[in-house]
Amino acid sequence: MSVNIISETKREILEKAPPKNIRQHIWHKKTTEPGEIIAAYVSKHAEAKMRNHAMAFRSQKLEVMGLLLGEVRIWEGQEYVLVRDVVTTDLDATSVSVKFDSGSFQTLFENLDDAGFDYVVVGWYHSHPGYGCFLSKTDLRTHEGTFVSRHQVAIVIDPLNIQIEAFRVQEEKGRIVRFEVYWDEWDDPYGGLKKVKK
């Protein structure tokens, strides 16, 4: 099976309504303001994988990290990302830093391969075990160096304080944005994505 990562700049943004069956994440502390834009819709499947990943390293207080896979959409003039799945690999982590382990990119690409979908990387997630949800100076550098589009999101999970937040980066600052967890495609193993032909 071929790896099929499409640079989102090469792909047309789909004009498509967001999922309707949504819920606010129970760990999401941000109070939503009326009329506020929802920057990301995260599938129940992707949400559980990220949260379980962070929780698995909670007692060792190690950071975790992965990529958000899905698509970029526009609806009523607002861009948002749909996160269908997440992928990760071996990590080189401490309680205050994380990066993909050198030499583990092959595993990451094999994991991407296993996803078997035609997708784009719409952002990344990582954890802050015990020190809250924000983007550090290093996080901002990582984000701006890797995720150049304005709609790409960074999700930060604190598995000790039981908190999750999504951020967009604007003018070198991380701004908390609203995100929702969606259920509609929960029963569809392909989530409406085009299966990549082998």
Residues that bind Zn ion (CB under 5 A): 136, 139
Amino acid at 196: V
Q: State which residue, 156 or 193, has the beta carbon closest to Zn ion.
A: 156
Q: Could you tell me the smallest distance in angstroms from the CB atom of residue 157 to Zn ion?
A: 10
Q: Could you tell me the smallest distance in angstroms from the CB atom of residue 137 to Zn ion?
A: 9
Q: State which residue, 42 or 65, has the beta carbon closest to Zn ion.
A: 65
Cα(181)–Cα(18) distance, integer angstroms:
11
Cα(61)–Cα(98) distance, integer angstroms:
12
Q: State which residue, 62 or 82, has the beta carbon closest to Zn ion.
A: 62
**DSSP structure string for 45-104:** HHHHHHHHHHHHTTTTT---EEEEEEEEEEETTEEEEEEEEEE---EEE-SS-EEEPTT-
Q: Could you tell me the smallest distance in angstroms from the CB atom of residue 168 to Zn ion?
A: 15
CB 37 within 8 A of CB 74: no
CB 156 within 8 A of CB 133: yes
Q: Give the residue nearest to Zn ion (CB).
A: 139
Q: Could you tell me the smallest distance in angstroms from the CB atom of residue 95 to Zn ion?
A: 11
Q: State which residue, 125 or 179, has the beta carbon closest to Zn ion.
A: 125
